[in-house]
Amino acid sequence: MQTRRVKTDGLTQQVLEAGEGPLVVLLHGFPDLAIGWRAQVAALAAAGYRAVAPDMRGYGGTDRPGGRDQHTILHLVGDVVDLVRALGETSAVVVGHDWGAPVAWHCALLRPDMFRAVAGLAVPFQARRPGGPPIAAMKAISARTGRGDLYIARFQADDAHLPFEADVATALRKAFYSYDGATPDANQSTGFLPPGEAFLSTIRDDVPLPPWLDEAHFSQYVTTFEASGFRGPVDWYRCLDLNWALTAFVQDKRIHQPSLFLVGERDPVRHYAGAHEAGQSAWLTDLRGQHVIPGAGHWLPQERADEVNARLLAFLAEIDGTG
Q: What would the pLDDT profile of 93-124 be if each residue is shown by its tens digit? A: 999 999 999 999 999 999 999 999 999 999 99
176 within 8 A of 189, measured Cβ to Cβ = no
The pLDDT of residue 66 is 86
Question: At residue 246, does pLDDT exceed 60?
Answer: yes
User: Does the pLDDT at position 61 exceed 60?
Assistant: yes
Go through 6-19 and write b for each residue having 16 or more CB atoms within 10 A of its CB, e for each that does not: bebebbebbbbbbb
User: Could you give the percent of the chain with pLDDT greater than 90?
Assistant: 87
On the question of pLDDT at 275 being above 60, the answer is: no
The residue ranking higher by pLDDT, 203 or 323, is 203
How many angstroms separate the CA atoms of 50 and 245, rounded?
Answer: 35
d(CA 134, CA 203): 26
Residue 209 binned pLDDT confidence (cut-offs 50, 70, 90): very high
- Decide if pLDDT at 10 tops 60: yes
In this prediction, residue 279 has a pLDDT band, given cuts at 50, 70 and 90, of confident
Strand-pair partners of 263? 292
pLDDT at 273 over 60: yes
Residues 60/14, Cβ–Cβ less than 8 Å: yes
Query: CA-to-CA distance for 270 and 282, rounded, in angstroms?
Result: 19
**Cβ atoms of 312 and 119 closer than 8 Å:** yes
| CA nearest to 34, candidates 214, 217, 287, 243 | 217
Nearest Cα neighbor of 293 from 264, 271, 256 is 264
In CATH terms, is domain 2-130+243-320 a member of 3.20.20.10?
no
Question: Residue 278 — pLDDT band, cuts 50, 70, 90?
Answer: low
Where residue 196 falls among pLDDT bands split at 50, 70, 90? Answer: confident
- pLDDT of residue 315 exceeding 60: yes
pLDDT at residue 129 is higher than 80 = yes
Catalytic residue among 63, 79, 98, 267: 98
Assess whether pLDDT exceeds 70 at residue 65. yes
The percentage of residues in the chain with a pLDDT greater than 70, rounded to a whole number, is 98
User: Residue 160 has what DSSP assignment?
Assistant: T
Q: Where are the alpha helices (DSSP H) in 16-149?
A: 38-46, 73-86, 100-110, 134-145
Catalytic residue among 71, 75, 106, 298: 298
Selection from 183, 173, 174 nearest residue 296 by Cα: 183
In angstroms, the CA 242 to CA 119 distance is: 25
Phi, psi at 86, each rounded to 5°: -65, -25
CA–CA distance, 59 with 236 (Å, rounded to integer): 11
| pTM of the predicted structure, to 2 decimals | 0.97
The answer to whether 53 touches 34, Cβ cutoff 8 Å, is: yes
* Average pLDDT rounded to a whole number, residues 262-291: 86
Give the pLDDT of residue 144: 81
* Annotation marks residue 217 as catalytic: no
Q: How confident is the model at residue 276 (pLDDT cuts 50, 70, 90)?
A: low
pLDDT of residue 195: 87
123 within 8 A of 152, measured Cβ to Cβ: no
Name every residue whose Cβ is closer than 8 Å to that of residue 181 and which is 6 or more positions away in sequence: 264, 265, 266, 267, 295, 296, 297, 298, 303, 304
Give the per-residue pLDDT at 138.
Answer: 87
Least trusted range by pLDDT, from 45-49, 188-192, 298-302: 188-192
Residue 63, φ and ψ in degrees, nearest 5:
-55, 150
**203, 214, 212: which is closest to 181 by C-alpha?**
212
The confidence score (pLDDT) of residue 277 equals 60
Indicate the burial class of 93 (C-beta count within 10 angstroms; 0-12, 13-18, 19 or more).
buried
Domain residue ranges in the chain:
2-130+243-320, 134-238
Q: How far apart are CA 286 and CA 35, in angstroms?
A: 30
| Spatial distance between the Cα atoms of 183 and 24, rounded to a whole number of angstroms | 31
Kindly tell me if the per-residue pLDDT of 59 is higher than 90: yes
Q: Is 298 considered catalytic here?
A: yes
Provide the pLDDT for residue 323: 64
DSSP structure class, residue 91: -
